[in-house]
Structure formats: C-alpha cells, structure tokens
Amino acid sequence: MSKTQLNVRVDEATAQTARERATERGMSMNRYIEELVERDAGEAGQTFVEAASDFMKNYESVFAEEFPEPGRRESEGLPRT
C-alpha cells in the first residue's frame, strides 16, 4: 500500500506525549498515529452498527407493519396496500 504524507500541527505538550507513547510501545510515531486513526475508525464503525441494531430493535414492529412479509397481510387480516 502506498503512503501519503500528512503534516499536522499540534502544541508541544501533545507532540511530546505522542513521542513518549510511541516510544513506550516500541513503535515509530508514524505507526502510533496510524494505529490511533485505525482504532478510532473501527470504533466509529462499531458504534454505527450498534446504533443501527438498537434502531431496528426499537422500530421492528413499525417496519413489520409497513413492510410485511409477502402474503402476511392477507393471512393476518390486514388491509392490502
């Protein structure tokens, strides 16, 4: 995979903390930042999946009424749409 260079400005305390954390983990600053971004992106994706799952649980009955399985309306006495 090709790499792209990013230039980021942070205050000195943040830069020092990032250097220290990368060193503690035995990795380069580049790899440390990559891992932070990858982890953040993964968490955001997981948060989306969890929110979508909760939404479907909360509104399952509404969807079932609006979009019944084929043949279900007639067999349950529901009006045809």
Examine residue 61 and state whether it is found in any structural domain, yes or no.
yes
Examine residue 2 and state whether it is found in any structural domain, yes or no.
no
Examine residue 80 and state whether it is found in any structural domain, yes or no.
no
**Mean pLDDT, residues 35-43 taken together:** 85
Of residues 7 and 43, which shows the higher confidence score? 7
**Mean pLDDT, residues 1-10 taken together:** 88
Examine residue 3 and state whether it is found in any structural domain, yes or no.
no
Of residues 20 and 1, which shows the higher confidence score? 20
Examine residue 16 and state whether it is found in any structural domain, yes or no.
yes
Indicate whether 69 pLDDT > 80. no
Contact by Cβ (8 Å): 31, 22: yes
Count of domains forming the chain? 1
Contact by Cβ (8 Å): 26, 20: no
Q: Which of 18, 44, 41 is nearest to 30 (CA)?
A: 18
Examine residue 1 and state whether it is found in any structural domain, yes or no.
no
Weakest mean pLDDT among 37-41, 55-59, 60-64, 71-75: 71-75
Give the residue numbers spanning the domain of 70: 12-75
Indicate whether 70 pLDDT > 60. yes
Indicate whether 12 pLDDT > 90. yes
Examine residue 52 and state whether it is found in any structural domain, yes or no.
yes
